Structure 1
Amino acid sequence: MGKAYEIPDWRKWKVEDVPELKKIQERLAQKGLKDPWLRNEVWRFQPIFRVNSIFTILSKGFKWGLVAFIGAAAIEKVYLLNKGGQDEHH
């Protein structure tokens, strides 16, 4: 069997370590509120877990793929025009 999954210690995650969450905590405090579960969101901001967005992941090769597609379409168009032009003369 593989190595057992180790659950990280909850005390490791601190809202104070994440500026975005710290601002939320401060805004809540100004209104006399407190979110005891805010600490549970800290892991999402750690570099190892952070992904900019699903769009970033899906679009990684989009630019070069688009260039390849346009190139292939242009080559096909030129090829079909040349082939079609030759057929008309025969």
Structure 2
Amino acid sequence: MGIAFTEYGPYWRSLRKFCNQQLFTASKIESFAPSRKEVLTHFIESLKEAAAAKEVVNIKFNLKEIIEELLYMVGVFNLADFVPFLGAFDLQVLCL
């Protein structure tokens, strides 16, 4: 069970401590900057194209797609999580 659905107590505090020490460090967050920039750039380009074509854009739908893809990517088993040097090869074609 994840931290979001765990009752407050010793287990929750240990999960929170782990997240603060391992997941929410400046270096870990910074490591995702290229991915965030790529997604944002693609999103802005699609908005520019729609504006040039004078189309109405449903931003809620686009954000929903992005969030769904993010949740899929986070939940997928990634061999590179266990054998780090394989990450450079993207054997599972997880980076679209």
Q: Same fold (TM over 0.5)?
A: no
TM-score, L = length of structure 2: 0.29
Q: Whose radius of gyration is greater, 1 or 2? A: 1
TM-score, L = length of structure 1: 0.31
